[in-house]
Amino acid sequence: MKTLIIKCLMALGLVLSVYSFNVQPVMAHGEKALEPFIRMRTIQFYDVEWDKQKFNVNEQVSVSGKFHVAEDWPVSVPKPEASFLNISTPGPVLIRTERYLNGKPFMNSVALQPGGDYTFKIVLKGRLPGRYHIHPFFNLKDAGQVMGPGVWLEIAGASANFTNSVKTINGELVDMETYGLSNGILWHIFWGVLATAWLLWWVRRPLFIARYRMLQAGMEDELVTLNDRLIGKSILIGVPVLVLAANMMTVNQYPNTIPLQASLDQILPLSAQVNAGVVDVETLKAEYRIPNRAMMFTLKINNRSDKQIQIGEFSTANVHFLNKELHVPSQVGSESMTAPEGLSMDNTAPIQPGEQRTMTITATDALWESEKLDGLVRDADSRIGGLLFFYDEHLGERFISSITAAVIPKFN
């Protein structure tokens, strides 16, 4: 008995010790869940900016930027023939009021073209006060979500003050927070009661063993009574009649309606990729040195512009490696995803107009590990993709090139 009491006290102490830990809430949205080759070789966001990060309930905020659809699209990922641009939030803390792609408003999914560049803008409205981590993202059909860079937004005010009124095509002003709520609750209760009554009608009588014995005795005709058949026929006829009658009443009450749209928008990429073909880059080799957490690229660069240029940044999966010699500004709102001194090269001299140069650049930082991008060397598709940013001598003009290569892991 004494031993049993001691064991119970020990178990109680273990439970209390577990609950004494300071448990922190999870703040991520699964941006590291997808395989590295999908995050680095599908949608490559850049120049993403929020017009503000502190605002009030009912106040609007917008996020805008650009993204490049990688040419080296993974063969195991379905082509982006149906993609949906949205905002990842921890619940309904914002509502989306406007959305644009290449300056055109769109509501549906969109077909994207590999190799194309697009601009986007999403306008949102504060709904619930609090501090939230927010991402723009693309939901790729049959592939999942590819997240853009995240920021912390602070919404002040009171949730009770939130308004979401819209004007219908008939000119009626309705509150979208409560419009049709009572009608929806009524129909849910009706169908729930009907389904429960139908279920109880059958389970009120003895089940399983008693019915099994009747089947064994050849009394299967007595399992379904005359009342059972009558009620079944009434429901079989009554439910369709009720649905059709309710539908006719709705059509008469709301003659002007627009159904939910199921089309696919076709928006072409920008007429010309930013400075496309001005700076050609061919990736000759890519190695990832695991002990140093460093990705090394051997590049063949052809400067077709009339300016001398230098490499200022390498970006992949929302991680930015900057050349500290050029003092390139970091991406807005992504300080934790930027390696300000992470990019180095074997030849720092500017690339002259018309010059062709083979050089090695190295992107080094612990972000390869913390963002789970180093898992690329263990993927069945060990290829990397990203954007290389070149700048002229005054940092006034920028040239962007997409690079991709198979990765060779180095363990020493």
Q: What is the CA radius of gyration of the chain?
A: 30
Paired tokens of 336: 């934790």
Distance set, CA 21 to CA 18, 25, 85 (Å): 6, 13, 39
**Dihedral over Cα of 85, 135, 45, 41: its sign:** negative
What CATH class does 36-167 carry?
Answer: mainly beta
The confidence score (pLDDT) of residue 33 equals 76
Q: Give the model confidence (pLDDT) of 211-240 as tens digits.
A: 788 888 887 777 888 898 999 999 999 999
Q: Give the count of beta carbons closer than 10 Å to the beta carbon of residue 120.
A: 21
The confidence score (pLDDT) of residue 276 equals 58
The confidence score (pLDDT) of residue 24 equals 39
Q: Of 172, 176, 179, nearest to 164 (Cα)?
A: 176
The confidence score (pLDDT) of residue 6 equals 53
Q: Of 371, 411, 366, 339, nearest to 35 (Cα)?
A: 371
Residue 408: beta bridge partners? 287
Q: What is the pTM of this model?
A: 0.81
| 383-392 and 398-410 strand pairing | antiparallel
DSSP H or E segment with residue 3: helix 2-19
Segments of the chain with pLDDT less than 70: 1-31, 272-277, 329-336
CATH of 279-410, one of 3.30.565.10, 3.30.470.30, 3.40.50.1820, 2.60.40.1580: 2.60.40.1580
Which residues in the chain are classed under CATH 2.60.120.570?
A: 36-167
Helix, strand, coil abundance in the chain, percent, nearest 5: 25, 35, 40
In whole angstroms, what is the distance from residue 335 CA to residue 319 CA?
A: 10
In whole angstroms, what is the distance from residue 357 CA to residue 282 CA?
A: 11
Q: Which CATH architecture has domain 181-253?
A: Orthogonal Bundle (1.10)
